[in-house]
Amino acid sequence: MDATEKLDFLIQDKNLDADLRQIAQVVFEGQRISFQQGVLLYERGELGYLGVLANYIREKKHGDYTYFNRNFHIEPTNVCVYDCKFCAYSRLIKERDQGWEMDVDGMMDIVRKYDDEPVTEVHITGGVVPKQDLRFYADFFRRCKEHRPNLHIKGLTPVEYYYIFKKAKLSHYDGLKFLKECGLDSMPGGGAEIFHPEIREKIAGDKCTSEQWLDIHEQAHSLGMKTNATMLYGHIEEYRHRVDHMERLRELQDKTSGFQTFIPLKFRNQGHQMSHVPEVSVIEDLRNYAIARIYLDNFEHIKAYWAMISRDTAQLSLAFGVNDIDGTLDDTTKIYSMAGAEEQTPGMSTQQLVELIKNVGRHPIERDTLYGVVTDYKDVVFQEEKKANYYSLPVVE
Ligand code: V47
Ligand code: SF4
């Protein structure tokens, strides 16, 4: 049975809960599900059912295509003035000997390390510290672009921008416009956590609010920048908080169409103040990917950040709505490894990533940040005896 036949089978299944059959019908018609239906999916949708709906949408949008990119990360600091309870960074403000704060030269050294590598993106992420202000990032973005103009800079989040722009007495719009002129290309999805104030105040009460997060993305979209969105799930939130989070994103996306990708981030429980909270199961991870795919009808891509889950879960996720598994990494970013991202790190070569995708019958595509095709790996044969990143491309006449 193909994806459409499977969905049709569910719609006809008289033994299935009537509300779930109705949602299956809504999905079949390409319509949008409501907030209440989103909560109902979390409460009553079992894994097999959710997989059929999510995979139908995934294959309608992307067929078997599964994207990844070649990027590297820079974490300018692992110290942070904020105190998010789930974050292994915040404690380091009190344990400075374990912390680092790079200068622009140090960041450029990392960029230069990749001079001979075919990477297309640098992803900048990390904590918030006073020294790394507007001038610091303007300087880095300019120097990075001077050095390698085609390297896409996906940098920082509204958490840093809110802090930096406030200090510089600039509006969100003016601050972003200035940094765009310096070389900033797009914004990753971090800092979103859970938007609902009942949860946000408990886990991330001192950083930018949900409204500020959404406004900074809206201003970026108005400047023509693409951005991503995340959701930190599986800790103290309830299902209605997850749906509320996605509802706010769906509303903004209706307005701007500026989001590219939604990335659910599984809460990991090591090395921070919420270590007593258990992590959710792989089944819950897959259900969550699937519901995100169903709920966010106006988001083109759903990404599983493989460095944060296991490789096996990343493979499974491709049957539950996910069509992107992030980049090849030479090293897992510290923010996750400190919080418990495990044996699957560090790194996966291009060959390993391609094989991981092919092994579950999907079609690997290396993309750039804006989903332009860099290499189609469908017919690429890797040469066994060579090292992971060497491959032979099919001859194109
Ligand atoms: O906002 C911190 C999360 C995020 C933990 O846009 C944790 O392409 C789980 O947003 N358990 C930053 N998560 C990373 C991020 C990201 C990652 C990959 C790709 C993209 C993209 C964006 O990391 C933070 C926070 O939600 N985080 N601590 C933890 N204990
Ligand atoms: Fe700082 Fe981000 Fe960690 Fe919060 S999640 S403490 S803002 S680095």
Q: In angstroms, what is the span from residue 88 Cα to ligand 1's centroid?
A: 12
134 lines ligand 2 (CB under 6 A): no
| Rounded mean pLDDT, 246-263 | 98
208 lines ligand 1 (CB under 6 A): no
The chain-wide mean pLDDT, for the chain, equals 91
Shared-domain flag, residues 19 and 155 = no
Shared-domain flag, residues 42 and 84 = no
Q: How confident is the model at residue 390 (pLDDT cuts 50, 70, 90)?
A: very low
Share of the chain above pLDDT 90, in %: 82
119-150 confidence digits (pLDDT tens): 999 999 989 999 999 999 999 999 999 999 99
Q: Which atom of ligand 2 is nearest to the CA of 89?
A: 3
The lowest-confidence range among 54-58, 116-120, 263-267 is 116-120
User: How far, in Å, CA of 89 to CA of 97, rounded?
Assistant: 13
Is residue 242 in a domain? yes
Is residue 375 in a domain? no
How crowded is the C-beta side of 153, counted as CA atoms within 13 Å? 25
Q: In angstroms, what is the span from residue 191 Cα to ligand 2's centroid?
A: 8
Q: How confident is the model at residue 388 (pLDDT cuts 50, 70, 90)?
A: very low
pLDDT for 118 equals 92
In degrees and rounded to multiples of 5, residue 129 shows phi and psi of -135, 145
Is residue 341 in a domain? yes
89 lines ligand 2 (CB under 6 A): yes
Q: In angstroms, what is the span from residue 329 Cα to ligand 1's centroid?
A: 15
Q: Which atom of ligand 1 is nearest to the CA of 272?
A: 30
Q: How confident is the model at residue 51 (pLDDT cuts 50, 70, 90)?
A: very high
pLDDT for 226 equals 98
Shared-domain flag, residues 89 and 51 = no
| Rounded mean pLDDT, 344-371 | 88
Query: Would the pLDDT of 395 be above 70?
Result: no
- Which of 82, 83, 156, 333 to mutate for ligand 2's pocket (most ligand atoms within 8 Å of CB)? 82
| Rounded mean pLDDT, 150-163 | 98
190 lines ligand 1 (CB under 6 A): yes
List, as one string, the DSSP characters of 215-256: HHHHHHHHTT--EEEEEEESSS--HHHHHHHHHHHHHHHHHH
Query: Would the pLDDT of 13 be above 50?
Result: yes
69 lines ligand 1 (CB under 6 A): no
Is residue 149 in a domain? yes
User: At 127, which CATH number?
Assistant: 3.20.20.70
Shared-domain flag, residues 165 and 282 = yes
Share of the chain above pLDDT 70, in %: 90
Shared-domain flag, residues 50 and 114 = no
pTM: 0.93
Nearest ligand to the C-alpha atom of residue 122 = 1
User: How far, in Å, CA of 298 to CA of 363, rounded?
Assistant: 23
Tokens of 5: 């036949």
pLDDT for 214 equals 98
Is residue 369 in a domain? no
- Number of domain units in the chain: 2
| Rounded mean pLDDT, 82-96 | 77
Tokens of 198: 């009942």
Shared-domain flag, residues 135 and 47 = no
**Domain range for residue 10?**
3-62
Report which protein residue has its CA nearest ligand 1's atom 21: 188
Shared-domain flag, residues 325 and 269 = yes
Is residue 314 in a domain? yes
Q: How confident is the model at residue 71 (pLDDT cuts 50, 70, 90)?
A: very high
Q: Where do runs of H (alpha helix) occur along the chain?
A: 3-12, 18-28, 35-44, 47-62, 104-113, 134-147, 158-167, 172-182, 197-204, 210-222, 239-256, 282-295, 311-317, 334-337, 350-358
Q: How confident is the model at residue 33 (pLDDT cuts 50, 70, 90)?
A: very high
Which among 45, 62, 79 is the end of a domain?
Answer: 62
Q: In angstroms, what is the span from residue 354 Cα to ligand 2's centroid?
A: 32
Query: Would the pLDDT of 392 be above 70?
Result: no
Report which protein residue has its CA nearest ligand 2's atom 2: 127
159 lines ligand 2 (CB under 6 A): yes
Q: Residue 1: CB partners within 8 Å, gap ≥ 6?
A: 9
Tokens of 357: 């995708």
Is residue 389 in a domain? no
303-348 confidence digits (pLDDT tens): 998 888 888 999 999 999 999 998 776 544 555 555 665 444 456 7
Which amino acid, 91?
Answer: R
Q: In angstroms, what is the span from residue 81 Cα to ligand 2's centroid?
A: 8
Report which protein residue has its CA nearest ligand 2's atom 8: 127
